[in-house]
Structure 1
Amino acid sequence: MEKRQKEIKIRLTDAEHQALLDRCTTASLASWMRETCLSEKRTKQSKVVEVDPQLLRQLAGIGNNLNQIARIINQQSKTDTPLDRVAVITALSGIERELQALRDDYKNP
């Protein structure tokens, strides 16, 4: 067996280090990391779930609406312009209703 001469150093938080120790299944963390990282086993690939394109479009539109609201709130918070909280709450309530309707449509087709 070839002698190991290369060394890799990484910085970890205490929590990250403990998480590695908790996952370690051998007596040596180094051995476990070599086995885990260099293993030829392929990880299971999750199935790609097909989603209705119409649902994706609707969700993308709702996401765009949320981004626009966030952008306006951020812009107004940087200026002295008062924020119209009623308008924001109304817009968010509308988005909530849209999401509820989508959920109901796809939960009970």
Structure 2
Amino acid sequence: ERCEGKQLAVWMRRVCLGEPVARSGKLPTLAPPLLRQLAAIGNNLNQTARKVNSGQWSSGDRVQVVAALMAIGDELRRLRLAVREQGARDDS
């Protein structure tokens, strides 16, 4: 089972104590081409993070890349929230 955005401690108590875990609203269906693009973006980000962590770049370069990765992470969080909000509107 997955936590799906709920508080981890609450979820763990429910799972460990054998109580059923209520499911949150489902995500909207995304078009396969969009999913492929998002997967490719994720793969590129992982490759970049691996290279940053490998020590192949100078400290200055690593700082710039990490700052860019953090900004991308912020944008992805906003996108995830927008997708969930759209899914909630689609369900009503």
* Structure (1 or 2) with the greater helix fraction: 2
User: Quick one: higher RCO (CA 8 Å, sep 6+), 1 or 2?
Assistant: 2
Instruction: Compare CA radii of gyration and give the structure with the larger one.
Output: 1
Taking structure 1 as the reference length, the TM-score comes to: 0.43
